[in-house]
Structure 1
Amino acid sequence: MGEEIKVIVFGLASEEYGIEVEKVRTIERMMPITRVPKTPAFIKGVINLRGIVLPVIDLRGRFGLKESETTESSRIVIVAVDDLEVGFIVDAANDVIDIDSDNIDSPPEVVGGIQAKYLRGVAKIGDSRLLIMLNLSEVLSKKEIIQLEQLED
């Protein structure tokens, strides 16, 4: 048995994804997002979360998936990447589960159209459920992190 990892499960398009709990600060309902000019299309803008201005990224756009309208179940998952806090727009944040690290396999080259570099691996849960584990440091490249830090200033 490997190490137990606590993971937040969220939905995007028809897939389930996971982020380690210790990297997630909070999960928020959708709120007004202020658009910022001259940023990539997947950077939706910034939000004011309890007095702190945070950049918000649409994960569908980041992964090249078709964007969709926000719904009642849409959420903003606030994560910490290096020293930066960022909000990810997801279709739904479902639950928190424990995963045995032995059940996480290396990612295939492409999963649901998403490049392997964005993925930490694919976790097998039970007999039929797969959970795509995100590699947060790749979801945001160094160049994008610098751009996002400038948004916060």
Structure 2
Amino acid sequence: MTNNEVQKKETGQLLQLVSFMIGDEEFGIDILLVQEIIRMQQVTKVPNAPDFVDGVINLRGKIIPVIDLRCKLGIARKERDKNTRIIVVDVQGKTVGFIVDAVTEVLRVPENIFEAPPEIVTGINTEFIKAVGKLEDRLLILIDLEVTLTANNEVELLPA
């Protein structure tokens, strides 16, 4: 039995996540949803778009809506810097970009480190939180991108 198989047997199913920062908090999303991670680029504003929709970008000829995840989570906006990234994901057949402060790493973590989120988390809109995981010296908040995009039927705002 390989070391990896032993680890799986002891800890249960392993999840692969892309972790990123928004403010001082570390968040994660399923790596299978991520198409690519790109540097921040010029975003074209869309008239009458909701506040959380930053605009659209042209990614190799494809127009992609970009959502400011800070705004969507109810966290105050901040000045973008050299670490700001756009995580391009595919959710329910829709391609969309999420602006984050920084992408930190790809993690392989046991599924059993996660538990249901506490009912009250100050400063963050908790309806988009799938779970909270305890890593060695920090917490990782698992975001539910499907809920993030479909809350209040907002998925209809995204081009096909």
* Both proteins in one fold, TM over 0.5: yes
Q: Which moved further from structure 2: 42-51 or 104-113?
A: 104-113
**What is the TM-score of this pair, normalised by structure 2?**
0.89
- Alpha-carbon distance in 1 for matches of 2:122, 2:112: 23
Residues 110 and 80 of structure 1: CA distance in aligned 2, closer, same or farther (over 3 Å):
farther
Contact in 2 for aligned 1:99/1:123 (Cα 8 Å): no
Contact in 1 for aligned 2:23/2:101 (Cα 8 Å): yes
5+ unaligned residues in a row in structure 2: which ranges?
A: 1-10
For residue 89 of structure 1, give the secondary structure of its aligned residue in structure 2.
strand
- Alpha-carbon distance in 2 for matches of 1:22, 1:111: 27
Structure ranking higher in strand proportion: 1
- Alpha-carbon distance in 2 for matches of 1:29, 1:52: 16
- Alpha-carbon distance in 2 for matches of 1:110, 1:39: 29
**1:1-153, aligned counterparts within 5 Å?**
1-126=11-136, 128-141=137-150, 143-149=153-159
**What is the TM-score of this pair, normalised by structure 1?**
0.93
Contact in 2 for aligned 1:118/1:139 (Cα 8 Å): yes
Query: 1:115 Cα deviation (Å)?
Result: 2.9
- Alpha-carbon distance in 2 for matches of 1:112, 1:13: 13
5+ unaligned residues in a row in structure 1: which ranges?
A: none
Amino acid of the residue matched to residue 86 of structure 2? I
Percent identity of equivalent pairs: 39
Contact in 2 for aligned 1:77/1:87 (Cα 8 Å): yes
Larger Rg over CA atoms? 2
Amino acid of the residue matched to residue 136 of structure 1? L
